[in-house]
């Protein structure tokens, strides 16, 4: 099951969603190398974090998968949002410095093909930063949050997938150590639970976060890939009928 744009916006507008966003932002900050003037692209639903990390970038785009839907972003000024297929990104080769994936890879039809496409558009020193639900975490077991949908990963699975797509994991982090409870006393204690979880039970975090570097020294097999997407026009012109 995929989370659509309405569900995602509603979740991050809630109290639990804001706490989740803060927890993930803190974990991202620990592995986010500052690259002044970088070209940054978010794939999935990345708007809360693009607002935080985007101001230092030269150019920022928010790509949203067609199965999810899209909204205008930023609210003021020209839109930097695009509705895309994650295996066929509308970018030329080596045109992006960093890509951030949130609510993306776990919903991909083929995670390996998605990562190969990201490899194509990243610059030689480019980096992909991925946030995915943790297979061992409690957040992946409840569907009242977006982290309970899609395909969760273990660290080993994610590491193997990255290496198959010619990426080298460089730094790891984790977040959402507090339970996804809607009870007020649990949410009030989220700071204590988050600190305790990071120290005592990191393997049960709600999400796994990895920053991986594009690898160049091992070539990818040269093969022409046919698009799996078939575009059908909404209106097909019909010839004018003859009058007998």
Tokens representing 139?
């957040």
Q: What are phi and psi of 214, to 5 degrees?
A: -65, 130
Topology of 5-214 in CATH? Rossmann fold (3.40.50)
Tell the burial category of 226 from Cβ atoms under 10 Å away from its Cβ (0-12, 13-18, 19+). Answer: exposed
Segments making up each domain of the chain, as ranges: 5-214
Percent of the chain clearing pLDDT 70 (strictly above): 88
The secondary element (H helix, E strand) that includes residue 213 is strand 207-214
State how beta strands 96-102 and 122-133 pair.
parallel
Q: Which of 14-23, 159-168, 185-194 has the lowest mean pLDDT?
A: 185-194
Instruction: Name the β-bridge partners of 82.
Output: 63
Question: Tens of pLDDT along 66-113?
Answer: 889 889 999 888 899 999 999 999 999 999 999 999 999 999 999 999
Q: What is the pTM of this model?
A: 0.87
Question: Tens of pLDDT along 5-53?
Answer: 999 999 999 999 999 999 999 999 999 988 888 999 999 999 999 999 9
Query: How many CB atoms are closer than 10 A to CB 197?
Result: 23
Which residue matches tokens 């592995």?
A: 31
């Amino acid at each position: 099951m995929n989370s659509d744009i309405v569900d995602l916006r509603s979740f991050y507008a809630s109290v639990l969603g804001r706490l989740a966003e803060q927890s993930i932002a803190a974990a991202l900050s620990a592995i986010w190398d500052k690259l002044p003037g970088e070209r940054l692209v978010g794939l999935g639903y990345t708007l809360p974090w693009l607002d935080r990390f985007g101001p230092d970038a030269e150019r920022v785009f928010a790509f949203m998968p067609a199965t999810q839907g899209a909204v205008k972003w930023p609210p003021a000024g020209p839109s930097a949002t695009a509705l895309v297929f994650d295996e066929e990104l509308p970018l030329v080769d080596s045109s992006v410095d960093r890509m951030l994936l949130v609510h993306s890879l776990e919903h991909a039809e083929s995670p390996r093909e998605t990562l190969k496409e990201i490899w194509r558009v990243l610059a030689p020193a480019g980096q992909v930063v991925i946030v995915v639900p943790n297979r061992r975490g409690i957040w992946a077991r409840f569907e009242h949050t977006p982290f309970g949908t899609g395909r969760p990963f273990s660290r080993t699975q994610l590491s193997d997938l990255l290496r198959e797509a010619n990426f080298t994991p460089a730094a790891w982090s984790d977040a959402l150590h507090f339970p996804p409870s809607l009870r007020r006393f649990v949410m009030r204690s989220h700071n204590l639970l988050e600190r305790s979880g990071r120290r005592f039970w990191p393997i049960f975090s709600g999400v796994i976060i990895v920053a991986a570097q594009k690898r160049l020294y091992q070539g990818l097999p040269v093969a022409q890939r046919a698009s799996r997407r078939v575009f059908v026009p909404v209106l097909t012109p019909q010839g004018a009928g003859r009058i007998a």
